[in-house]
């Protein structure tokens, strides 16, 4: 089930890359373009987790956690740099009603996938899966932020909300990346329940 959820995540994000970047370019919306770039990071992170789930061992789990951590940092860098550039340039996005509709649907899909993956990750003790579920959750938060930014731009002309929404998710990604990276460097944090991906819960037997 965990691998099927990851494949579903990849399939949705492959579509999302093309759709949101095209809508973002058409509307001049940084948030939509950044959302599409975020989907590339999500595809990479999901691919790493599939690789780890196909052969479960300590070394592969450690490498997977490190790669998921790097995916968080890449996401943060993309969003923060793009947001800063947009605010400095005073880039004003055009109205994008199709963007509003698509991002609203995407938010529901991402939150649903995130909760399902985290539940399975906690139950099975799959730490890379649980961490990656939080990338999907951030994808849902980004979709929500982009949705709000597009709506307030449509209603009030608040062009800067587009960049602020992307920046807020970029900041939120940093501690997530740090936590995944620390887990990869010090597996004892997982055993001691210090990791925020699983906490003190114990994995159920898969036999």
Q: Indicate the domain borders of the chain.
A: 2-191
- Give the number of other Cβ atoms within 10 Å of residue 157's Cβ: 10
Q: Pick 168 or 91 by higher pLDDT.
A: 168
Q: Which range has the worst mean pLDDT, 91-95, 111-115, 165-169?
A: 91-95
2-191, CATH topology level: Alpha-lytic protease prodomain-like (1.20.1510)
Average pLDDT over residues 127-156: 81
Q: How confident is the model at residue 198 (pLDDT cuts 50, 70, 90)?
A: very low
């Amino acid at each position: 089930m965990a691998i099927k959820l990851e494949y579903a995540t990849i399939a949705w994000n492959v579509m999302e890359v093309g759709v949101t970047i095209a809508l973002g370019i058409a509307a001049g919306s940084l948030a939509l373009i950044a959302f599409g770039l975020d989907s590339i990071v999500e595809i990479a992170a999901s691919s790493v987790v599939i690789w780890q789930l196909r052969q479960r061992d300590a070394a592969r789990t450690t490498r997977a956690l490190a790669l998921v951590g790097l995916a968080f940092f890449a996401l943060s860098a993309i969003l923060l740099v793009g947001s800063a550039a947009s605010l400095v340039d005073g880039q004003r996005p055009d109205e994008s009603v199709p963007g509003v509709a698509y991002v609203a649907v995407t938010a529901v899909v991402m939150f649903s996938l995130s909760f399902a993956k985290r539940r399975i990750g906690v139950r099975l003790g799959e730490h890379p899966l649980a961490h990656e579920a939080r990338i999907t959750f951030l994808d849902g938060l980004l979709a929500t932020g982009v949705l709000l930014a597009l709506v307030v731009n449509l209603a009030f002309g608040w062009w800067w909300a587009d960049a602020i929404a992307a920046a807020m998710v970029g900041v939120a990604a940093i501690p997530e990346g740090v936590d995944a990276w620390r887990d990869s460097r010090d597996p004892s944090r997982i055993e001691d329940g210090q990791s925020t991906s699983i906490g003190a819960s114990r994995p159920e037997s898969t036999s």
